[in-house]
Amino acid sequence: MAADPSVAVVRPAVGVLALQGDVAEHLRALRESGAAPAVVRRPDELDRVDGLVIPGGESTTMWKLIDVFGLAEQLRKRISGGMPVFGSCAGLILLADRLPDPASGQQTLGGIDMTVRRNAFGRQVDSFERDLVVAGLSGRPYHAVFIRAPWVEDVGPGVEILATDPGTSRIVAVRQARALATSFHPELTPDRRIHQMFVNMVRDQA
Ligand code: GLN
């Protein structure tokens, strides 16, 4: 079939913060979701992307590296300036405006008006899977993998709740303007609907 020249095929440049965590999995998921992925470790690499993923991993380590690499100020500026951003698990923690139980010295980038409790599901089970109904995704439920996962304890009025865990009724996916965050790891499962949702957010903005 001939391509319709009126429809631009846009592969937006989406960065993955590549300091620690499951970077390769996000790069692959983004590629499969129609983006042109790029690693971001330095401020000039952040300048070149239209959106950013903050991966799952360990939020205290990631914060230390953000600090050491001198990225905090520019990350905060881009996020508050409206760059689309998606955080999974540790990434959700880094996007929280409030942490009730930070590790010593741990800060966040902020961007979503929410309180996030780290390792909240951890004492019951370290890792589990759940079928979730996620707002904005059509078709079958979303099969989500949680690993030492945080939950969202409360959200401000501007935050849309996209999914709650049916086991605990806790909030596990949210969106505020151009910031998206999940307690679980869409990069670790083959269903690409969450990454596609994010790539569409970037495309709408690019
Ligand atoms: N519990 C981890 C933290 O505090 C997050 C776990 C994850 O990203 N799988 O950063």
Tens-digit pLDDT profile for residues 194-205: 999 999 999 998
Catalytic residue flag (residue 187): yes
121, pLDDT greater than 70: yes
pLDDT class for 124, splitting at 50, 70, 90? low
In a domain, 5, yes or no: no
**CATH number for the domain including 83?**
3.40.50.880
Region 138-152: what's the mean pLDDT?
A: 96
Q: What pLDDT was estimated at residue 8?
A: 52
In a domain, 69, yes or no: yes
pLDDT class for 123, splitting at 50, 70, 90? low
**Is the CB–ligand 1 distance for residue 87 below 6 Å?**
no
Q: What pLDDT was estimated at residue 1?
A: 43
Distances (CA, A) of 53 to 6, 110, 133, 183, 192: 30, 14, 22, 14, 14
In a domain, 163, yes or no: yes
Catalytic residue flag (residue 185): yes
What is the count of structural domains for the chain?
1
Q: What pLDDT was estimated at residue 6?
A: 46
In a domain, 93, yes or no: yes
9, pLDDT greater than 90: no
Helices (H) and strands (E) in the chain, counts: 6, 12
**Is the CB–ligand 1 distance for residue 55 below 6 Å?**
no
Q: What pLDDT was estimated at residue 13?
A: 97
In a domain, 3, yes or no: no
- Nearest Cα to Cα of residue 17 among 95, 82, 80: 95
In a domain, 6, yes or no: no
Q: Which of 148, 151, 184 to mutate to test the pocket of ligand 1 (most atoms within 8 A of CB)?
A: 148
In a domain, 77, yes or no: yes
User: Of how many residues is the chain composed?
Assistant: 206
**Is the CB–ligand 1 distance for residue 51 below 6 Å?**
no
In a domain, 76, yes or no: yes
Region 117-123: what's the mean pLDDT?
A: 88
pLDDT digits (tens, 9 = 90+) for 23-74: 999 999 999 999 999 999 999 999 999 999 999 999 999 999 999 999 999 9
Ligand 1 centroid, distance to 63 Cα (angstroms): 12
pLDDT class for 189, splitting at 50, 70, 90? very high
Packing angle between helix 59-68 and helix 72-80, nearest 10 degrees?
110
- Domain encompassing residue 95: 13-205
**Is the CB–ligand 1 distance for residue 71 below 6 Å?**
no
C-beta neighbour count of 134 within 10 angstroms: 20
